[in-house]
Chains A and B, each alone.
Chain A
Amino acid sequence: MSDIGIRVFGNQLAITIRVVARHRVAAVIATLVLLPWVVPYEALSVNILLFGLYAVGFNLVYGYTGLLSFGHAAFFGVGAYACGIAVATFDVNWLLAIALGTIVAGFVAMIMGGLAIRTRGIYFAMVTLALAQCVYYILYQWTDLTGGENGLRGVSVQAVNILGLELNLLDPMTKYYVMLVFVALALWIFSRILESPFGAVLEAIRENEKRARACGYDTLRTKWLAFVLSGMFCGLAGALYAIHLSIVPIETANYTMSGQAVMMALLGGMGTFFGPFIGAAAYLLLEDVLTLWTEHWQFFVGALFVFFVLFFPRGIWGSLLHWVQR
């Protein structure tokens, strides 16, 4: 391939990336619209969609504010359980249940954040881990409400009615696009948050918290609010997940789920908009494809993660953006 050819290809790629980065919400949504056609099976694309949202929520706290939390599974899990219990036990309308999941998760984030936010660095990671595990054990022991270790079954939302249109949620494509509407809305809100003055303060805190405080910003309040918002995004992802699987497994609230958020955010690129989705897609697709070829997929996923931490800490998307800027 000729030298000019490589340069042209590189230029084209760079332009593409720049366009995508500039119109981030539209670009992400466009990609997500195309996703089910590219991915082997629809259930996986729904997983990518929802875990992507989960990673986006986590990214708000880690990538944009600089707080490493190991407790985000609590929000994902609580969102899933709140929505699931509302549908399965109380027969609540699905839209209301999703809203409930989001709000309850935000509430738990408010409490957890309130307790944890004074700590910094590794302490913060450890406190969030410990508090999230407390939430996990409460959910685990409250068998009558949550089903305990067998999980919650019966979250059956098979047909929904949107503006008079009857949609069959058992059809995977329909389910995907219905959930995409929620995720798109969440992403739009997320983008607006980042572009607001609040978003700028978040990034200032990540860069240098002491200086941000010296500039007069109430960093404690800001961090707390970011934590709550992050919890709500993760809760929404959890609520949708409950409807997607029609069950809520207890594992959704376990710390391994927190670890997954960290892995996906790092693989994709922390502090970038597109990154978490790429990270979620990469992680889930890799896991899926590897499972077909070897039973030792954990080895390869772990090794890839180590590789990224060492050589591409900006993640896939972050590294691409960085390359484009040079």
Chain B
Amino acid sequence: MNRQSGRNYHEGQARTSRRSVLKTAAAGATAVAVSPFMFNIARGASDAVRVGLPVPLTGPYGTEAREQARCAQIAVDEFNAAGGLNGRMAELLVRDDKLNPGEAATRTQELIEKDKVHFVCGSLSASVQLAVNEVCKARGVIYMSISQSDEINEVRDFSKYTFHEAMNPHMTTGPVGRYVFPKHGKRIAFLIADYAFGHELVRGLKREGKQYGIEVVAEVKHPIASKDFSTFMPQIQAAKPDVLFLCNFGYDQLNSIKQAIEFGFKNNMQLVVPVLLYTQRLVGGAAYDGVVGGTNYYWELENSIPSAKAFNNSYRKLSNGSPPSDYGAYGYSGVSALLAATRAAGSTDADKVIAGLEALKYDKYKGLQYFRKCDHQSVQSVYIIASKAQAEVKNTYDVFKIVHSEPAGEGILRTCSELGL
């Protein structure tokens, strides 16, 4: 079997004639002209102020992502109700980044190149944030990050276009440490999710703990998205700590707490979760009883802060009465700050809005906030919450008790020089 006949066998016989080639070209051109993809789906209007929001709508954090999108939309609606930017309305373009940095980078390129967004806000995991940030800063588009990360403030990833509305792990650990260490004892154990977020939490806690003379008796790392934590428990048990810090996020948090309880830990030590998620608490229920942690927001703040009440009420209208979550609040306040700065700047030009953001003082949901100049980190209040026992809970949403409020201040941030900026 010679090569020529082999190829013909597989790919059919054809006599090339100019006619057939021309016919092919004509067919191709027709296909392009009637391609259904020429129609735009869900694209922005021409003179609107467009904000792109890549969030992980599919995947395990879909609920948190939807919260962020919903609250961001509230911010956009408020901006438009107040007249927009001299009559130009704002528009939110939500995209699904599937919690995947490659997908997020592609979506961000789509938002910037095709939809011509002026700003990007989002998303949920640290790796995705950094990916979106990279794409935005190369193209000179402002990125307002609304999820925890320490690296986004550091010199390697930071750019003048990078803004961070959410807290970073370091900011959380200071207040949490100061509350927990004097109260519960000096023997400290850490169960750490083995990625940047976990390490950053431990670093911050150890730093805070030095002045209290803490003794680290166990430091156990677990891979992220572990389902089974049993292999990590015996070592912690053997170390007999007073406090166990669970330095992880989301489902890792829930699973590790459940399994710590299985091993009888609650009887012997205080469980502390530096970043305690409202949505996880709703899912986890009784497992969280007595657990202490830090957060950026809990809806009960409406009893003492007027802007919290306003935000909660706007949210309640859309959600049939349920209050917003912590991560949802980030979505609201991030987009609000962006749009407020745009209005102050009077234009959507990136440099003008950056100046506007740097000068902005805003109180959107929990009191005064502003962006520190060197790293564009939002300086904000931090709250320590304790999970209520099932017996004390009055309704579905009444899950936490605010035990301590740390007012907004640069003291809990790392210094500019430490970040390399």
Whether B102 lies near A18 (C-beta < 8 A) is: no
Whether B32 lies near A47 (C-beta < 8 A) is: no
Whether B20 lies near A149 (C-beta < 8 A) is: no
Tell me if B409 is interfacial: C-beta within 8 Å of chain A. Answer: no
Shortest Cβ gap from B57 to chain A (Å): 6
Tell me if B82 is interfacial: C-beta within 8 Å of chain A. Answer: no
Kindly state the separation between the CA atoms of A203 and B102 in the bound complex, as whole angstroms: 35
Tell me if B35 is interfacial: C-beta within 8 Å of chain A. Answer: yes
How many contacting A-B pairs (Cβ < 8 A)?
146
Whether A252 lies near B156 (C-beta < 8 A) is: no
Partner of A44, one of B3, B11, B110: B110
Tell me if B183 is interfacial: C-beta within 8 Å of chain A. Answer: no
Shortest Cβ gap from A116 to chain B (Å): 26
Kindly state the separation between the CA atoms of A325 and B14 in the bound complex, as whole angstroms: 10
Kindly state the separation between the CA atoms of A172 and B109 in the bound complex, as whole angstroms: 9
Shortest Cβ gap from B342 to chain A (Å): 23
Whether B12 lies near A246 (C-beta < 8 A) is: no
Kindly state the separation between the CA atoms of A47 and B109 in the bound complex, as whole angstroms: 11
- Interfacial chain A residues near B107, Cβ < 8 Å: 43
- Interfacial chain B residues near A156, Cβ < 8 Å: 134, 138
Tell me if A309 is interfacial: C-beta within 8 Å of chain B. Answer: no
Residues of chain B in range 120-148 having any CB-CB distance to chain A below 8 Å:
126-127, 130-131, 133-135, 138-139
Tell me if B151 is interfacial: C-beta within 8 Å of chain A. Answer: yes
Q: Beyond the given A41-B109, A149-B224, A295-B58, could you list 19 further A-B residue pairs with CB under 8 A, ordered by the A residue number?
A: A17-B12, A21-B12, A21-B14, A38-B38, A40-B37, A41-B113, A43-B113, A44-B110, A47-B106, A150-B151, A153-B157, A154-B134, A154-B156, A203-B6, A247-B105, A247-B134, A249-B131, A295-B62, A295-B96
Interface of A toward B, CB cutoff 8 Å = 12, 15-24, 30-31, 34, 37-44, 47, 148-151, 153-154, 156, 158, 170, 172, 195, 197, 200, 203, 241, 245-247, 249-252, 271-272, 285, 289, 291-292, 295, 297-298, 321, 324-325
16 A-B pairs with C-beta separation under 8 A: A19-B16, A22-B12, A23-B16, A38-B32, A41-B114, A149-B196, A150-B151, A153-B156, A154-B156, A195-B7, A197-B3, A245-B102, A251-B102, A285-B37, A295-B62, A297-B58
Interface of B toward A, CB cutoff 8 Å = 3, 6-7, 10-14, 16, 20-21, 23-24, 27-28, 31-32, 35, 37-38, 40-42, 57-58, 62, 96, 100-102, 105-107, 109-110, 113-114, 126-127, 130-131, 133-135, 138-139, 151, 156-157, 195-196, 224
